[in-house]
Structure 1
Amino acid sequence: MSGTFDKQDIEKIKRKRQEWENGTLKKQLDRFNITDSENEFYTPADIADFDFMEKVGFPGEYPFTAGVYPCQVPGSGPVTGGYHIGGGGGLVRAGRYLGYGTAEDTRDYYQSEILRGRTGGPNIAFDLPTQIGLDSDDPMAEGEVGKAGVAYDTLADFETIYEPFQDKNNLDSIASNWTINAPVNVILAAYVALAEKRGIPASKLRGTLQNDIIKEYVARGTYIYPPRESLRVTRDTFVYCNEYAPLLNPISISGYHMREAGATRIQALAFTLANASAYVQCGIDGGLDVDSFVNRFTFNTLSGSMEILPEICTRRASRRMWAKIMRDSFKSENPRNWILREAGGFLTGAWTSTSQRPLNNLTRAVIGGVAGALAGYIPSAEPPYDEPLGLGWSIEAQQLAEDAAKILYWESKLSKVTDPLAGSYYIEAMTDKIEAEAWALIHQIEEMGGSQGAIENGFMQRAVAQSAYEYQKKLETGEELVVGVNAFTDEQELEVLPNRLIPYPYDATKRAEAEKKQLARLAKVKEERDNEKVKSLLAKLEETAADEKANIMPLTIEAVKAYATIGEITGTLKKVFGEYSGYGKI
């Protein structure tokens, strides 16, 4: 199909632009004694070959630039306790990300959230020892137990955490999310085991495992095993879920964390899609047909920045690129598998929040919510303004964020029109530019053997570290301005904070006491369980792990049901898989 614009018209516009630059624009620049304009202006000449059906199409149809669904689910929108994940309209979703202290502490917090109107299931934040597969009584865990999230050692912890979710909110009626990667097999096993104890088959469970281990090597650092062996764990969870828990999303592929670590928008986009391709291949290598499992893949938000126009273009490009990857590279025949399913909407990113004049973060989040609506998502105004002030958010900050999203959705009605910026000369030109740059980076990664190779040789890690360094330099030189941080910091500027009406939900005393309580809890479980049975199951797990073709999930589930600890299970796998060190990669 030919482009939208006539070639003669394009040439006419180009000539007219030259006249404008040499005349009207130059006079203005000369008046202020400057050589270059700070403003950009786009015309049809910037998208001379624009073809609507090829570049945009209709929502819910290839290439999905305008949106992955033809319309939003009727009745859906921002919900209380929903974080950046829209709900309502019959959608079964997990809610706001939280967790701290012991299982009892997190259980009590969930109970209070339910009383406050929360409708979603748990979206669990785990402490650092759990994330790297250490037991709370491991010497390396000292001082970290229950700090960055809730401590998980054994199935007993899940039994307690999920106590508020019974009856009409039982495990077969809610969705759970787990931000867990390296020891994902243990957490999946714990949920399956808990459901079995309640008489609920795995086939009825809904939820999302993060399970995005590749980005851990790039950004967060909570890896355990080397990349190849980690992808073995990923493969086994895919295969298990595909057969026994088909309603679970076995992965949530995250550009967010890489962006938070310093990646540029191009790097975050390219690395995310390269990683996603590696995961698709992982499932195929496990014997799965591509059209049997990719429909359960989800993507966490790419994060973003305050430059919302190019960020909107990045989202549009991401949808188009993933559709091409699935259709053309993996030969998927089912259009539903070409959809980039995102867990939530657009975020400007927690990294844009500042501890200085923190209430300004609400303004930043609202701008992100506007961008999200324009990019085709249910708007969210997250994170709450006190994100940089410490672990967890105050109820007041959560209320303001949730109200802002509801105002954007129901009062401003920004979501009434799908992809309203489509056809803009700037938006289409920038979407094409971002896509081209991301493809170039993806091809570079492919030449290294894909994401696994790019991790093993340190390419991704170095790229993100360099970008973070370059951005920090711009902050220090003033090339990048952040209000209240390196600009507009005079004495007359006010620090405005709202009144605190409700006690802070993450009780500092409970956090301080968590480690002592968790150690006592763990010791009691170890004393009461059948230790010989645990020992026998761990030995069998080691044998299974040594067989590359075997799946470790069934024995992991049996070990968890016997109250084997997360550290015992990961320790057993370390004997076979080894451990990874990122030393020297950057």
Structure 2
Amino acid sequence: MEHGAEETTRARWEKRMAEKPVTPSTTPSGFDVAPLYTPEDAKAIDFENDIGYPGEFPFTRGIYPSMYRGRLWTFREYSGFGTAEDTNTRYRSLLEQGMTGLSVALDLPTQIGFDSDDPTVWDEVGRVGVAIDSLADMERLFEGIPLDKVSTNFTINTTSAPILAMYMAVGEQQGVTPEQLRGTLQNDPLKEYIARGTWLFPVDAALRLTGDVMAFCAQEVPKFNPISVSGSHMQQAGATPVESVALAFVHALAYIDLLLERGLSIDDFAPRISWNLGVVGTDLFEEAARFRAARRLWARLVQERYQPKNPASCMLRFYAGSGGNTLTVEEPLNNIVRVAIEVMASALGGAQAVHACSYDEAYAIPTEEAQLIALRTQQIIGYEAGLTRTVDPLAGSYYVESLTNAAEQKMREVIDEVMQVGVSRAIETGLVQERIMRSALLEEQRMESGEKVVVGVNKFRQTEGAAPIELHRADPEAYKRQVERTERVRRERDAGRVEAALVQLAAAAQSDTNIIPAMVEAVKAYATIGEICKTLTDVFGLYTDPAVSVVSGNQSSGLQKIQAQAHDPKIRILVAKPGLDGHDRGAKTMALMLRDAGMEVIYTGIRNSVDAIVQAAIQEDVDMIGLSVLSGAHVGLTEQIMERLREKGVDDVHVVVGGVIPEADIEPLKARGAAAVFPGGTPFEAVVAELRSLVA
């Protein structure tokens, strides 16, 4: 066809489009999407430098030459609950069904450094993960699972060092040397201070421990990934998919600079830096494009800044997959389809390991049946869908390449913005937190307007409610069994050896020597997580949360449906997050929306004790307390709040509860005194109407 004929064809198409204009469209990260992409959109792309070949710099198409033609991604299912025995049974079942890597979910007390018999955390033991108090628990967790045959991912940050030490000790008992161990620690503390909230130590101390783990593994555990820099938690907090990658890169650059200051070279440790770049959404093309852009940008950043000699130092090896915040309480079986799309996007983006959520994770940790469906989803896509027959099958798509370029450019802009301020300063001033909150509110606005459609939630919503499904229920005896074992460990261990090991650990913490050898000795002596962390906080001190939050500023939620009603009585509400859970996106968003609805809102931040919440409610003279609980501990925490209020003689403050709350728990909560219960997915208008009715 002659060039003139092509122009005529294009002009004819443009004329027909102008006759029936289409509405604008944007991706979840805010990129405008044209109705059609053509070679004109790819003119600026240099194939060799921008796309290239898999296994070659800048790794846009993948980090290995043959990618999935040579080896499929690792199938992981994030799992852990109750005691080590409970979780071990689940792991062995999943491994028998073809899971190729373990991903350990640890409970909140373990993540933050509390023993299970600490009276302040009893209702959170074994709730969102498995309880690990001592080496005795780790031994049982991996009983019958050869550590030289499986790789293990630990989503752990504050207590990464003792968890690594325990894993090494179990390996030694099995005859597996540190050089043979394969797996990953998350060990990414910076994002805890802005998004996840499982902090314990001051920032400098947390960075020191991260550096010790990375330096030790570089020398002693060379096949183990000592860090998995996470964008997923910032995305769960509200960052866009592209923002989450950029912010993770900022943190990774800080960790690299920390180790270079210690005298290591970039090639000593950079090849073992790994990444958690989920949560993957259902916009398949943007997700694949952002992973391609992330690989390319990371390679370029490392090359520009550090000039490594080993090409592997520029490779971005990442874990991705679905997350609970992409799932819906409404019509939960729809989540099976969503997860399938998210796994496909991860594979098309070239992930090295993928986690598939179970359809019931919007309610609770998954049942065995739901988790098997999630594993089968990965296997069907890996073996039946044809995605693995060729490397990077979306390469060359005018649309995908345009999105890849746009994502890389946006990531650079975010990185430059934060780096101009400095990582620590950006966290201290709330710059990053405010950026994340703005993005979270923008997504709420897109949901409200219908621009973002979530089937079964804001479109095609059923009026009769969600279909009942079987849910995992926590074993009430698990807590008792866990505490009994920890008490037995304390009775039977050599107390003198424990005391000496903890003294040695404190001395290492006070010096500038690497702390991991002393940590290994402490766990081998069966010192507990709580004892180890108490020893370290005696040296390092405790982190004090400055409660940086846009909730205390003048920002509005920006949602049109929220209107203050001046004729209503002014409601004064304390919004609080009791317990150890640090996921605060919902609480912050709700606080802003309630304020926009004309209420006086006091937001107390995360990880509030029951006593602190009650005391604040009395001091602030509130009409009601709004509890946000996502950890599964809502019944016990609500009961404790009600007991404290009665002890203080307070009978005129309503307590309402929201969060991840199964329908079966609504009546038990009300029986314990909750005036109203708002499970996930409750329309905001219904929340406001109920709150107003309570004080009418």
Which aligned segments of 4 or more residues in structure 1 are displaced greater than 4 angstroms?
Answer: 11-21, 34-39, 377-381, 493-498
- Distance in 2 (CA, whole Å) between partners of 1:424 and 1:249 is 33
> Which residue is 1:473 aligned to?
445
Q: Closer, same or farther in 2 for the Cα pair 1:145/1:245, shift >3 Å? A: same
The reply to whether residue 441 of structure 1 matches residue 414 of structure 2 is yes
- Summarize the alignment of residues 300-311 of structure 1 with structure 2, pairs less than 5 Å apart: 300-311=276-287
Aligned partners of 1:234 and 1:282 also within 8 Å? no
Residue 86 of structure 1 aligns with an amino acid whose one-letter code is T
- Summarize the alignment of residues 138-157 of structure 1 with structure 2, pairs less than 5 Å apart: 138-157=118-137
- Give deviations 1:248-267, integer Å, cap 9, x for gaps: 11111221121122111221
- Give deviations 1:495-532, integer Å, cap 9, x for gaps: 6688x7xxx7x5x363x222222222111211222223
Aligned partners of 2:184 and 2:228 also within 8 Å? yes
> Which residue is 2:19 aligned to?
27
- Distance in 1 (CA, whole Å) between partners of 2:474 and 2:547 is 39
Q: Secondary structure at the match of 1:387?
A: coil
Q: Closer, same or farther in 2 for the Cα pair 1:330/1:152, shift >3 Å? A: same
Aligned partners of 1:534 and 1:564 also within 8 Å? yes
- The one of 234, 239, 245 equivalent to 1:269 is 245
- Distance in 1 (CA, whole Å) between partners of 2:230 and 2:453 is 27
- Distance in 2 (CA, whole Å) between partners of 1:522 and 1:38 is 56
The reply to whether residue 126 of structure 1 matches residue 91 of structure 2 is no
- Give deviations 1:430-463, integer Å, cap 9, x for gaps: 21111111101101111122x3332233222222
Aligned partners of 1:379 and 1:409 also within 8 Å? no
> Which residue is 1:566 aligned to?
529
- Summarize the alignment of residues 16-415 of structure 1 with structure 2, pairs less than 5 Å apart: 21=14, 23-29=15-21, 40-72=35-67, 76-77=71-72, 86=74, 95-114=76-95, 116-118=96-98, 120=100, 122-165=102-145, 170-344=146-320, 347-377=321-351, 382-395=356-369, 397-415=370-388
The reply to whether residue 515 of structure 1 matches residue 491 of structure 2 is no
> Which residue is 1:458 aligned to?
430
Q: Secondary structure at the match of 1:390?
A: coil
Q: Secondary structure at the match of 2:67?
A: coil
Residue 172 of structure 1 aligns with an amino acid whose one-letter code is D
> Which residue is 1:554 aligned to?
517
> Which residue is 2:677 aligned to?
none
> Which residue is 2:497 aligned to?
533
> Which residue is 2:654 aligned to?
none
Q: Secondary structure at the match of 1:389?
A: coil
- Give deviations 1:520-551, integer Å, cap 9, x for gaps: 2111211222223322322222222122x211
- The number of residues matched between the two structures is 541
Q: Secondary structure at the match of 1:224?
A: coil
> Which residue is 1:484 aligned to?
456
Q: CA deviation at 1:402?
A: 3.2
Aligned partners of 1:370 and 1:379 also within 8 Å? no
Aligned partners of 1:217 and 1:461 also within 8 Å? no
Which has the larger displacement, 464-473 or 306-315?
Answer: 464-473
Q: CA deviation at 1:157?
A: 0.8
Q: CA deviation at 1:20?
A: 5.8
Aligned partners of 1:100 and 1:146 also within 8 Å? yes
Q: Secondary structure at the match of 2:54?
A: coil
- Distance in 1 (CA, whole Å) between partners of 2:352 and 2:383 is 11
Q: Secondary structure at the match of 2:313?
A: helix
Residue 50 of structure 1 aligns with an amino acid whose one-letter code is I
Q: Closer, same or farther in 2 for the Cα pair 1:577/1:495, shift >3 Å? A: closer
Q: Closer, same or farther in 2 for the Cα pair 1:563/1:430, shift >3 Å? A: same
Residue 414 of structure 1 aligns with an amino acid whose one-letter code is L
Q: Closer, same or farther in 2 for the Cα pair 1:205/1:473, shift >3 Å? A: same
Structure 2 unmatched runs, 5+? 26-31, 550-696
Which has the larger displacement, 406-415 or 61-70?
Answer: 406-415
Q: CA deviation at 1:39?
A: 5.5
Q: CA deviation at 1:350?
A: 3.0
- Distance in 2 (CA, whole Å) between partners of 1:12 and 1:237 is 64
> Scaled by the length of structure 1, what TM-score is found?
0.85
Q: Secondary structure at the match of 1:299?
A: strand
- Distance in 1 (CA, whole Å) between partners of 2:465 and 2:536 is 55
Aligned partners of 1:298 and 1:341 also within 8 Å? yes
- Distance in 2 (CA, whole Å) between partners of 1:38 and 1:120 is 38
- Distance in 1 (CA, whole Å) between partners of 2:74 and 2:410 is 31
Q: Closer, same or farther in 2 for the Cα pair 1:256/1:381, shift >3 Å? A: closer
The reply to whether residue 582 of structure 1 matches residue 554 of structure 2 is no
Q: CA deviation at 1:490?
A: 4.5
Aligned partners of 1:369 and 1:379 also within 8 Å? no
Aligned partners of 1:541 and 1:552 also within 8 Å? yes
Residue 55 of structure 1 aligns with an amino acid whose one-letter code is D
Which has the larger displacement, 535-544 or 326-335?
Answer: 535-544
- Distance in 2 (CA, whole Å) between partners of 1:573 and 1:310 is 43
Aligned partners of 2:281 and 2:326 also within 8 Å? yes
Q: Secondary structure at the match of 1:287?
A: coil
> Scaled by the length of structure 2, what TM-score is found?
0.72
- Give deviations 1:51-82, integer Å, cap 9, x for gaps: 111110011111111111111365643xxxxx
Aligned partners of 2:90 and 2:368 also within 8 Å? no
Q: Closer, same or farther in 2 for the Cα pair 1:128/1:378, shift >3 Å? A: closer
Q: Percent identity?
A: 39
- Distance in 2 (CA, whole Å) between partners of 1:229 and 1:15 is 66
- Give deviations 1:115-163, integer Å, cap 9, x for gaps: x434545422111000001111223212111111111111111111121
Residue 526 of structure 2 aligns with an amino acid whose one-letter code is Y
Aligned partners of 1:299 and 1:341 also within 8 Å? yes
Q: Secondary structure at the match of 2:55?
A: coil
Residue 383 of structure 2 aligns with an amino acid whose one-letter code is W
Q: Closer, same or farther in 2 for the Cα pair 1:15/1:558, shift >3 Å? A: farther
Q: Secondary structure at the match of 1:268?
A: helix
Structure 1 unmatched runs, 5+? 1-8, 78-84, 88-94
- Distance in 1 (CA, whole Å) between partners of 2:500 and 2:238 is 45
- Give deviations 1:267-315, integer Å, cap 9, x for gaps: 1121111112122222222322111211111112332322222222111
Residue 544 of structure 1 aligns with an amino acid whose one-letter code is A
Q: Secondary structure at the match of 2:176?
A: coil
Q: Closer, same or farther in 2 for the Cα pair 1:73/1:531, shift >3 Å? A: same
Q: CA deviation at 1:341?
A: 0.6
Q: Closer, same or farther in 2 for the Cα pair 1:27/1:472, shift >3 Å? A: closer
Q: Closer, same or farther in 2 for the Cα pair 1:306/1:117, shift >3 Å? A: closer
- Distance in 2 (CA, whole Å) between partners of 1:561 and 1:437 is 47
- Distance in 1 (CA, whole Å) between partners of 2:412 and 2:427 is 18
Q: Closer, same or farther in 2 for the Cα pair 1:75/1:56, shift >3 Å? A: closer
Q: CA deviation at 1:322?
A: 0.7
- Give deviations 1:376-414, integer Å, cap 9, x for gaps: 34896822222212112341x333333333333333312
Q: CA deviation at 1:38?
A: 8.6
